[in-house]
Amino acid sequence: MALEDDARQAVPGTPGMRADGGGATRRRPLRERHVEETVEVAVPVRTAYNQWTQFKTFPRFSTVVRGVEQIRPTVTAWTIGYGPLRHRFAVEIVEQDPDAYLAWRGLEQNPSHQGEVEFRPTGSGGTAITVRMLLEPRGAAGILTRSSRAVRLTARLVRGELVNFKGFIEGLGQEGGAWRGTIRNGRVQHDRPEPPRSRVAQWPVG
């Protein structure tokens, strides 16, 4: 299946990566982008972030997301579409900081994209959510994506989805779940290293 093949492939040359003081690779916010949209929601940052991490609930408020499936801890498969039209693609979370930041990249070869979402507290106790996207089609599709019309349509879609999320989370008043893990360079970070294991499956050493 093409989706599974894409999900297993590493996508080289991801821009915006840097090493922090501890030697871990962290993602710098997108400098080049086609789309940037912000919406303020009347819930605290923790609530907004927690609900955003519940990807499987996106079809409940989105006009285009039809389903989300977890493939691996950092990889999900998204099905989007209008009416009978459907498109399924894999996305990898490459950076995630609780209550602050989440960055992803599409695992499709053509077209592909990168994106990030930031969560910032507002003076009123709410949250400013900013989504940025960089579309990266190859070949002839690149001409279409670089057109101002395509960028406007994408920006309108992102804006609409943010407004839908605002109505959804404000209507709930609290998150319906949360994932509070940290991701660096596509890998979930564990607070403590796992104990060594023997060659016999499920048998920890000691």
How many Å apart are CA 68 and CA 75, to the nearest integer? 10
pLDDT at res. 27: 53
93, pLDDT greater than 80: yes
pLDDT at res. 154: 84
The model's pTM is 0.75
State pLDDT tens for residues 52-84. Answer: 999 999 999 999 999 999 999 999 999 999 888
Strand, coil or helix: what is 172?
helix
Residue 60 C-beta-side C-alpha neighbours within 13 Å: 14
Of the candidate ranges 72-86, 106-120, 167-181, the one whose mean pLDDT is the lowest: 106-120
Average pLDDT over residues 92-97: 96
109, pLDDT greater than 90: no
Tell me the pairing of strands 87-97 and 75-80: antiparallel
State pLDDT tens for residues 1-51. Answer: 334 444 333 333 333 444 444 444 445 556 556 899 999 999 999 999 999
150, pLDDT greater than 50: yes
Phi, psi of 130 (to 5 degrees): -115, 125
Q: What is the mean pLDDT of the chain?
A: 80
